[in-house]
Chains A and B, each alone.
Chain A
């Protein structure tokens, strides 16, 4: 808008015309190419393969998995914890950045929120896949039935069901609500069936002053509400384990430790998703090194926090030498050494020192490499928590190592493909960039000459009071 006055030179986005900016940010919505169909076809095939293996497991029985006494929770539950953790940072980071009005937030909001929604959808399926008699999943729903059976809400697993559903509904609402102004922009640019599609989804949003004011208040309320929900969800996932008297699980630190791990892996996921979106949809002008550097700083902080929590947990067990718990930790130096090393090296030893370097944080390939390590390390951590505690449980005569079978690997691959498929289709149909947020941010930004240099200056309307008419 012309209200933006700029001084100085440079290719500043504030001087991009809005139509051009929309076209640039909505490249993902262009008609599908053959390459897109090929990617979707491949992802669909892998997803179908995963679904097929699940059906096979349902038909033949859980014996086709590597699960056996005493390890009755394996890769499927580890994946559940991993995916729920991965879902954590999207909405949480988006909400925190909205509340703190972080000026660099706009380009990462939508992509991160979508990641949360799809990771939750995928993660939420794992307990249903794992339960064995899957067709009885509806027993978790509280409904009157002839046998007078009701869900046992004193069980942490039911807390989980309630919390995940709340978080999923909240995250989907948060995602959709944030998208309404962009759907209105898309509606006014689209033709054909897309126009009808966006007209319905935009709910008649037009951008009136009253609408914008209420939209901002509602967005802030959503953000305030979703943060404690996000924290509670992973706390409850941690309590799924901590409530059981299983050595290695029964720990008071598990709730904050799980939340920290979830934010850590979620941030790594956000970095990877943003890097892919940037590359595929040529969003280099919007998703700049500023966003990646700031995400890198957060990742560095979370790596340190994760290291601190893990050391605190380890030290307590090491000093106490309670034989039951110590056997679990001893297995980290034996059969599970490769996993344990993967966890420590990928979560702390490599990421922390690398992320302390500005050069690494500002290099997108380097940051992606570190994020990939963190994702691997966090999966190893989830696997170690779930499996080793059961594999070294109390009675040495029943100790048994676990390794997933091809059926479990196929289901895990199917889940990953399903996540990517949902994301790919979403990016094709919906605005993957928060266009109105980016426009607002650009509207508030000007270049200001300070002595011999030019710096970006951000206007903060709410900080200057109510304003007024001349």
Chain B
């Protein structure tokens, strides 16, 4: 979501929820309204997350890629350096399982980090992102992505009527 964003600070959840309901009544779609807060708010308390959370699939993919890597690492080294250890077969299943398991878990962790960061929208250092440090004073920043002009004005009015502080329109991304 990029473009014009109307933002307003609210002193409490009840006020923010009231303003959020007023924005929905404009009407404004659910996915255009969000909050910025210093702690997680229950979904639906002020805004609702409509996007599906997909990155756990990448965790699974990472696990399988890691497992393949583990199998390749163990089988590859067995065959490249066929050293008999304790009279056991060159290609031994238990050590392969152990190495495969460890590398698979590493793959799953790596997949979670990369996909999680991406889906959270982190590391957008060059993008102007909407933010207000006053959320760390306990306030909630209600944000609505709007069309410039009439919709923006009505959103500002709705937030002010709901008790918003420093309600303003900003250019940036949510």
> Does chain A have a CB within 8 A of B164?
no
Interfacial chain A residues near B39, Cβ < 8 Å: 1, 207, 212, 436, 439-440, 443
Interface of A is mostly: helix
Contact assessment for A204 and B122 in the assembled complex, using a CB-CB cutoff below 8 Å: yes
Give the residues in chain B near A180, CB-CB below 8 Å: 122
User: Is A203 located at the chain interface by the 8 A CB criterion?
Assistant: yes
The answer to the question of A54 belonging to the interface, with a C-beta cut-off of 8 Å to chain B, is no
Say if the beta carbon of B171 comes within 8 Å of chain A.
Answer: no
Cβ of A112 within 8 Å of any chain B Cβ, yes or no, is: no
- Shortest CB–CB separation between residue B95 and chain A, in angstroms? 5
Kindly state whether residue B64 has any CB partner on chain A within 8 Å: no
CB-CB under 8 A from A18, the residues of chain B are 38, 136-138
Chain A positions 437 through 469: 1 when the CB is less than 8 Å from some CB of chain B, otherwise 0 = 001100100000000000000000110001111
Cβ-based interface call for B102 (8 A): yes
Residues of A within 8 A of B133 (CB): 188-189
Docked Cα-Cα span, A59 to B43, in Å, equals 62
Query: Contact partner of A154 among B41, B85, B125, CB < 8 A?
Result: B85
The residue that A2 contacts in the complex, of B11, B45, B59, B124, with Cβ under 8 A, is B11
Give the residues in chain A near B56, CB-CB below 8 Å: 217, 221
- Does the CB pair B81–A148 fall under 8 Å? yes
Are B37 and A151 in contact, CB atoms less than 8 angstroms apart?
A: no
A464 to chain B: closest residue by CB:
B42
B interface residues, tally (CB under 8 Å):
74
Q: Which of B39, B99, B143 has the most CB of A within 10 A?
A: B39
Asked if B156 is at the interface of the complex by the 8 Å CB criterion, the answer is no
> Is B113 within 8 A of A173, CB to CB?
yes
Report if A1-B77 is in contact (Cβ < 8 Å); known contacts: A152-B83, A206-B131, A225-B108: no
Interface mask (B1-21 → A, CB under 8 Å = 1, otherwise 0): 000000000011111010011
CB of A35 within 8 Å of the partner chain: no
Interface residue stretch chosen among A161-169, A285-293, A339-347, A373-381: A161-169
Tell yes or no: A320 within 8 A of B by CB: no
Specify which chain B residues have a CB less than 8 angstroms from the CB of A222 in the assembled complex: 109, 112
Chain A CB within 8 A of B174 CB: yes
Q: Which residues of A contact B95 (CB under 8 A)?
A: 153-154, 159
How far, in Å, is B14 (CB) from chain A's closest CB? 7
- Scoring A residues 269 to 286 as 1 if CB is less than 8 Å from chain B, else 0, what string do you get? 000000000000000000
Cβ of A209 < 8 Å from any Cβ of B? yes
Q: Is the CB of A466 within 8 A of B121?
A: no
Q: Which residue of A lies closest to B13 (CB)?
A: A3
Instruction: Check B43–A467 contact: CB distance below 8 A.
Output: yes
Map CB proximity to A onto B47-88 as digits: 1 under 8 Å, 0 otherwise: 111010101100100000000000001101110110101101
Q: Are B44 and A466 in contact (CB under 8 A)?
A: yes
Check B38–A185 contact: CB distance below 8 A: yes
**Contacts A3-B12, A210-B51 known; A221 to B103 CB distance under 8 Å?**
no
Residue B106, interface by CB 8 Å: yes
**CB-CB < 8 A to A165: which residues of B?**
106
Complex interface: chain B residues within 8 A of A188 (CB): 133, 136
CA distance A207 to B95 in the complex (A): 44
**Max chain A CB contacts within 10 Å: which of B88, B119, B124?**
B119
B137 to A, closest residue via Cβ = A19
Whole-angstrom distance from the CB of A243 to the nearest CB of chain B? 8
* The stretch of A62-70, A228-236, A402-410 that contacts the partner chain: A228-236
**What is the interface of chain A, defined by CB distance below 8 A to chain B?**
1-3, 17-19, 22, 142, 148-155, 158-159, 162-163, 165-166, 169-170, 173, 177, 180-181, 185, 188-189, 203-218, 221-222, 225-226, 228-229, 232, 236, 436, 439-440, 443, 461-462, 466-470
- Chain B interfacial positions (CB closer than 8 Å to A): 11-15, 17, 20-21, 24, 34-49, 51, 53, 55-56, 59, 73-74, 76-78, 80-81, 83, 85-86, 88, 92, 95, 98-99, 101-103, 105-106, 108-109, 112-113, 116-117, 119-125, 129-131, 133, 135-138, 140, 143, 174
4 nearest A-B pairs in the assembled complex, by CB-CB distance: A2-B12, A467-B44, A3-B13, A461-B42
